[in-house]
């Protein structure tokens, strides 16, 4: 599977066959700059990404915990998600996201 990750400047990195369980881990394993300060516990909002519109409906909706934490994220949008809460599966082949301000360090 492939995942496309854009940084805030519009540069894209392609993650190919990530072995990670979550999107945050895949981004981190690829060596990209993502803060993810709480390590995936949905308690910091520094793994914030914007999900491409074509993919938003294919993701499990954010639960109450994720949604509440996103209220603390910088520049929240309709497409905002915590990448540590997105579990990767073959159905997400082609997933496209952009790192949000405050996620990169």
Q: Give the residues lining the site for ligand FES (CB under 6 A).
A: 24, 36-38, 40-47, 69, 82, 84
Q: Which is nearer to ligand FES, 55 or 81 (CB)?
A: 81
- Quote the strand ranges of the chain, DSSP E: 2-6, 12-16, 48-51, 80-82, 95-99
**Spatial CA neighbour of 85 closest among 53, 40, 30:** 40
Rg (CA), the chain: 12
Q: Which is nearer to ligand FES, 47 or 95 (CB)?
A: 47
β partners of residue 82: 48
User: Minimal CB distance to ligand FES: which residue?
Assistant: 84
Structure tokens at 26: 């895949």
Q: Which is nearer to ligand FES, 23 or 55 (CB)?
A: 23
CB of 2 to ligand FES, least distance (A): 22
């Amino acid at each position: 599977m492939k995942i496309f990750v854009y940084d805030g400047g519009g540069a894209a990195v392609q993650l190919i066959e990530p072995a990670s369980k979550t999107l945050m881990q895949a981004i981190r394993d690829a060596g990209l700059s993502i803060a993810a300060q709480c390590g995936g516990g949905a308690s910091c909002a520094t793994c914030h990404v914007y999900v491409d519109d074509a993919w938003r409906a294919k993701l499990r909706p954010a639960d109450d915990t994720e949604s509440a934490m996103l209220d603390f994220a910088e520049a929240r949008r309709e497409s905002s998600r915590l990448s540590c809460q997105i579990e990767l599966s073959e159905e997400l082949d082609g997933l496209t996201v952009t790192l949000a301000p405050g996620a990169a360090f």
